[in-house]
Amino acid sequence: METVKHRISSSQFFIMMFVSRAVVTIALNARYLGGENMLEAILSCGLAMLLGIAIALPIWGLHRAYPTDTVGDAAQLALGKAGKIVPLCYILYFILINGSALGLFHIFLLDTVNPEFSSLLTITAVLAVAVYGAYRGIETVARCAVCVFAILLLSTGLTFFLVAFRFDPENLEPLFYNGWKQTFQGTALFLSRTSAFADMAVLLPMVNGKKRRSFFCWAGGTFLFISVLLLLLAGCLGPYAATQNFPVFVLSSLTEIRSMQRMDAVFVGVWMTGMIIKLACDLYACRVCFSSLTGKRCPKTALSLASIAVLALALWATASPEAQKMLLDTGLLFGATVVIGGGVPLILWVISRLRKRRGQ
């Protein structure tokens, strides 16, 4: 089984989760945050992290009950053959969340970068590299994630340093000027665009080391990264940030130090490489779920079909405004993340506790 053959450290795993989270965060805008006040979005991020810790509790409980089994295997141990629906639901979730993320990147290429080369070819190449990584195994993806993590910190750190000179406190807006609606919508958005909890449910049995400590380091580091990013957006761009579909890209374009004037190109490269890590990690989780579903090694055709479904959703999101509205809908993704990330593990954990009490 995949869970026996492949092992990574807890730091490697949560570095993958950080990269996956950061790469989606750089697509934030006022439309989905529910308002133009970026300072309120910092509070939303903090609330999302606290709720994320609560969502993760049943995952830790389930992992303690079945330390060597993925959520799909644990479901079949707890529910019998009916438990096969669990890995299937996780596969569908990963296809949805990654189709949404890749579609968002495709929209960015078409609307903002407008490259001379084919954007379709670009996202297909990104997906192809991610599929190859998923075929190679979780260790390969984890090692690549460490490299991307270093590049991400260096590039964003340099960008943050350069644009900080443009920070103007007068651009900051008062909190809760229009009530709490934006805060709540932003909280839902931050939770909706992360597959970390589903990844934990599937992949934690493959992780060695002090997982809980690494989890809290991930939560704190992610909050710090996003908070600094939002603070710079608020202080450097002010109300102008709310008029942009991808304000973080605009922020990266503000660098004005000779050869570093094109940091926006670095931004595109970082997003692309981070997207590869996110897709590869989630597709590998699909591979593990396929293995749980069939009881044997995942066939290559199954993973190929999952990647084709992700590409199809991404293209559908850019081809149809109605599809874009549905696939990027915060309510849909939030509900799926909470149910799959926390709800399913909670049910399985409760069942495992009841079975233990009955001596089964």
At 269 the pLDDT is 81
At 5 the pLDDT is 54
**pLDDT score of 56 more than 80:** yes
**pLDDT score of 278 more than 90:** yes
Q: DSSP 3-state assignment of 24? A: helix
At 115 the pLDDT is 63
- Residue bearing the bigger pLDDT, 248 or 347: 347
What token pair was written down for 208? 């060695």
At 179 the pLDDT is 73
Distance between CA atoms of 42 and 87, rounded to whole angstroms?
34
Q: What is the pLDDT of residues 104-120, one digit of tens each?
A: 888 888 877 766 667 88
**pLDDT score of 3 more than 50:** no
What token pair was written down for 148? 């991307």
At 266 the pLDDT is 72
Say which residue the tokens 């605009």 belong to: 250
At 337 the pLDDT is 94
At 173 the pLDDT is 79
Count of CA atoms in the C-beta half-sphere (13 A) of 42 = 18
At 260 the pLDDT is 47
Q: What is the DSSP letter of 299?
A: P
pTM beyond cutoff 0.75: yes
Q: What is the pLDDT of residues 304-358, one digit of tens each?
A: 899 999 999 999 988 888 888 888 888 899 999 999 999 999 999 999 888 777 7
Query: How far, in Å, are 39, 99, 171, 339 from residue 334 at the CA level?
Result: 22, 15, 31, 9
At 355 the pLDDT is 77
**pLDDT score of 261 more than 90:** no
In whole numbers, what is the pLDDT of the chain averaged over residues?
86
At 157 the pLDDT is 85
Q: What is the pLDDT of residues 65-93, one digit of tens each?
A: 999 899 999 999 888 888 899 999 999 99
**pLDDT score of 187 more than 50:** yes
Average pLDDT for 124-131: 93
At 48 the pLDDT is 93
Distance between CA atoms of 246 and 235, rounded to whole angstroms?
16
At 30 the pLDDT is 80
At 80 the pLDDT is 86
